[in-house]
Chain A
Amino acid sequence: MNETFAVLGLFDSADALMEAVPKVRALNLGRLEAYTPYPVHGLDRALDQRRSPLAGMVMIMGILGALTALLFQYWISAVDYPIVTGGKAPSSWQAFVPIMFEVMVLFATFTAGLGMLLLLNRLPYFGHPVLQAKAIRGITRDRFALSVEAEETFDPAAARAALEAAGARDIELLPAPARGPWLTADFIQKSLAGIAVACLVSGLVMFAAVKLVPILPPMSHMSDQPRLDPQAESAFFKDGRGMRPPVAGTVARGFMPPGVASEDEAARLVNPLPRTPAVLAHGQAEYRIRCAVCHGALGNGISTLGAAYGAKPANLQAPNFLAYSDGRIYGAIVLGKNAMPSYAADLPEDARWAVVHYVRALQRAQNAKDEDLK
């Protein structure tokens, strides 16, 4: 093991340093290192240092951080405990992006910092020899240092001569540092014990603070928000309702509600649905739920409700109803007729027309002719 760490000389400008580097390098005396008050571009290439792997490490870890955040958020909000917040789907990637960015930066900066210190700067060196040099005052201000570091075989006198020949001043010899053992059992035990004590003390203090001073809840602004809960009352609005109904006449974009304003308008409409078994089955189901209770299962106006309350619902088998156009039946469903209220809110557009088809089928079934059998 060599007693000397390096031989170091100072230059007055970055250009002088850059000129000296190839001269000293050609002699091949030892590993070259430069110390400058600011980054000098091109120096790493002149020193023939291997490309730092740090950039690649930071890139990979940054991408890994973003992916970690994406998968973690996806898992917690869409897989493990899916919950709809703010009307958004649980797996809304848009909401994940800011946190993906944060975690990416976190991973990248930790990789850059720790990678630089531990892997590339070969810590633990608790004191780099150059920090003990006389030259350090100059290096941190306006001088540029070049040092020839000792390798297996090293001739300090030759290095000194080479630096002198290259124009360096204030040449000095840096002794090798004592590299103390670092990760000893004692050090690890003390560190872990220190962390444990710190956790215990801060936990106890927090517990005591919350228990002894109950007027200081640790964090309440999540539960005490100046917003109104659903169905809550509000003194702010005249009608006292916290939930506001939409302005009258509001419709969703692209969802103009279908419907008609008058019976005459309805009479001109044509049934847009095809007469298929599926549509008739749909119409039958809806008819039995909404219509049969008054108009009867056969559409003849004889029903349980009519018998119980003496109401007289329309007999859809009567000749005037047989003569109705499809549109008029549709109009009766949407607008209501006599005592019958509008069923527009109960039956969506396709259900209304399916019911019209089913009523037509009922009418034909009750007035079957011989040729229907053929």
Chain B
Amino acid sequence: MSADRTAKLLWSATALGGATAGASYFVTGGPRFWANWVVWFLFLLTLALGALFLVALEHLVSARWSVPLRRIPERLASLLIPLCAVALIGLGSLQALFPGARPEAAGDPALAGKAFWLGVPFFSARVALCAALGLVPLFVLLRGSLRQDRNPDPKFTIRARRFAPVCMAIFALLVTQAAFDWIGGLTPAWYSDVIGVYLFAGAFMAGLAATALAVLYLKGKDRLQAVRFDHVFNIGAFLFAFTVFWAYIAFAQYMLMWYGNLPDEVIWFQAHTGGAWLGVVALLALLHFFVPFFALVPRDVKGDPKRLRWVALVVLAAHWVDLYWLVFPALGAPVFSWPELGFALFFTCGSLLWVRGAMERGEDMPVGDPFLKEGLEFRL
């Protein structure tokens, strides 16, 4: 398919998805529209942050193997720019979904004390601050990296290594804000310290899966020929390792709350595993842990493009199910129908359009990076 036709197809799919999603606001009501919006905002946010984490991690630990791949997560992380708008529009969901932001909260003794934190003004301020903070690493790491293509000056490499710890702090803050505000805020009476780590595990997996898909796509187009089996293997190995990390965090959170059996904690799991949600939980465990884990267990398949491609797709689907499971119980029983499909079409095709544009920015590899040669010679 020619590039023009692909672009046209993506644009029309995005428009169709957008129209469907918009229509759902009037047909199926505001809360469901906003729940979908929050799920997709979080999906793309965690994906972009996961990619940013890969970039920052490389600078932080002076990794060499990932230098030839670095441009791919850099491009994916640029999704944070359109996500600022998605986040600000998402503030419209506050009254519809977040009990702490409703006027009735003032009369609820459990929420009145936290009114300032959960209320619309400070919630919005936090979101705006985090959106601005998210642009800082892009400004430093991405712009500098692109400049280095034209002017191979190691100054950027040194600056990036100095900035990496700050970037990690920003990353942690953003993931925590997303988890505590956008997910925890749906049930303000419920506390879980580990929900941020849980979201981070999902975010890193989503970032890795998207990176794997983009790398394999570009390799298929003969654009990343110097990337060898060994590099792809490492991405597969990371993905494999983090399926276990995610499962560990998810189960640890559940088991401790189940054991403690404190009413204000278990009520969350009662709502999220009751009725048809139990089926969603089973699907989540299957897609987010069992399928990717057993699919990537044998040694050689971690670098096998065919296997890695479908596992990465499964992981991305599982990440959506994960966020759906975190957000949608606020509406009651699970619902899945044309509004969800419309949102999926709108946001996947929209983000693909953005990523397609980003894929043309700069070289496919950081050609000015002094460690590129070492990275290309990387051997398992």
The minimal Cβ–Cβ distance linking B258 to chain A, given in whole angstroms, is 5
Q: How far is the CA of A14 from the CA of B258 in the complex (A)?
A: 52
CB pair A95 B259 closer than 8 Å = yes
List the A side residues contacting B379 at CB < 8 Å.
Answer: 14, 41
A55 interface residue (CB < 8 Å to B): yes
Known contacts A41-B380, A253-B267; is A59 also within 8 Å of B297 by CB? yes
List the A side residues contacting B255 at CB < 8 Å.
Answer: 94-95, 97-98
B261 interface residue (CB < 8 Å to A): yes
List the A side residues contacting B261 at CB < 8 Å.
Answer: 86-87
Q: How far is the CA of A88 from the CA of B379 in the complex (A)?
A: 51
Q: How far is the CA of A142 from the CA of B261 in the complex (A)?
A: 57
List the A side residues contacting B263 at CB < 8 Å.
Answer: 253
B298 interface residue (CB < 8 Å to A): yes
Which residues 5-54 of A have a CB within 8 angstroms of B? 14, 41-42
Known contacts A59-B297, A87-B261, A97-B251; is A41 also within 8 Å of B267 by CB? no
List the A side residues contacting B254 at CB < 8 Å.
Answer: 94
Q: Produce 1/0 per residue, A68-84, CB < 8 A to B.
A: 00000000000000000
Q: How far is the CA of A322 from the CA of B230 in the complex (A)?
A: 90
Known contacts A59-B297, A94-B254, A253-B267; is A41 also within 8 Å of B230 by CB? yes
Which residues 180-232 of B have a CB within 8 angstroms of A? 230
CB pair A86 B259 closer than 8 Å = yes
Tell me whether chain B's interface is mostly helix, strand or loop, or mixed. Answer: helix
CB pair A94 B258 closer than 8 Å = yes
B299 interface residue (CB < 8 Å to A): yes
The minimal Cβ–Cβ distance linking A17 to chain B, given in whole angstroms, is 13
Which residues 139-182 of A have a CB within 8 angstroms of B? none
Q: How far is the CA of A42 from the CA of B233 in the complex (A)?
A: 13
The minimal Cβ–Cβ distance linking A11 to chain B, given in whole angstroms, is 16
CB pair A55 B299 closer than 8 Å = yes
List the B side residues contacting A14 at CB < 8 Å.
Answer: 379
Q: How far is the CA of A253 from the CA of B271 in the complex (A)?
A: 12
Q: How far is the CA of A88 from the CA of B261 in the complex (A)?
A: 10
Q: How far is the CA of A215 from the CA of B255 in the complex (A)?
A: 38
The minimal Cβ–Cβ distance linking B186 to chain A, given in whole angstroms, is 17
The minimal Cβ–Cβ distance linking B149 to chain A, given in whole angstroms, is 31
Q: How far is the CA of A341 from the CA of B263 in the complex (A)?
A: 33
List the A side residues contacting B298 at CB < 8 Å.
Answer: 55
The minimal Cβ–Cβ distance linking B62 to chain A, given in whole angstroms, is 20
Q: Produce 1/0 per residue, A84-96, CB < 8 A to B.
A: 0011100000110
List the B side residues contacting A88 at CB < 8 Å.
Answer: 259
List the A side residues contacting B259 at CB < 8 Å.
Answer: 86, 88, 94-95
**Minimal Cβ-Cβ distance residue in A for B298:** A55
Q: Produce 1/0 per residue, A241-280, CB < 8 A to B.
A: 0000000000001000000000000000000000000000
**Minimal Cβ-Cβ distance residue in B for A254:** B270
**Minimal Cβ-Cβ distance residue in B for A41:** B380
Which residues 294-351 of B have a CB within 8 angstroms of A? 297-299
Q: Produce 1/0 per residue, B244-266, CB < 8 A to A.
A: 00000001001100110101000
The minimal Cβ–Cβ distance linking B216 to chain A, given in whole angstroms, is 20
**Minimal Cβ-Cβ distance residue in A for B379:** A41
The minimal Cβ–Cβ distance linking A298 to chain B, given in whole angstroms, is 47
The minimal Cβ–Cβ distance linking A50 to chain B, given in whole angstroms, is 14
Q: How far is the CA of A97 from the CA of B252 in the complex (A)?
A: 10
Which residues 343-380 of B have a CB within 8 angstroms of A? 379-380
Q: How far is the CA of A86 from the CA of B259 in the complex (A)?
A: 8
Q: Most chain-B Cβ atoms within 10 A of its Cβ — which of A14, A41, A55?
A: A41
List the A side residues contacting B230 at CB < 8 Å.
Answer: 41
Counting from the closest, the 8 A-B pairs by CB-CB distance are A41-B380, A94-B258, A94-B255, A253-B267, A87-B261, A41-B379, A97-B251, A253-B263
Q: A42-B380, A95-B259 are in contact. List 7 more A-B contacts (CB 8 A).
A: A14-B379, A59-B297, A86-B259, A94-B258, A97-B255, A98-B255, A253-B263
Listed A/B pairs (16) with beta-carbon separation below 8 Å = A41-B379, A41-B380, A42-B380, A55-B298, A55-B299, A59-B297, A87-B261, A88-B259, A94-B254, A95-B255, A95-B259, A97-B255, A98-B255, A253-B263, A253-B267, A253-B270
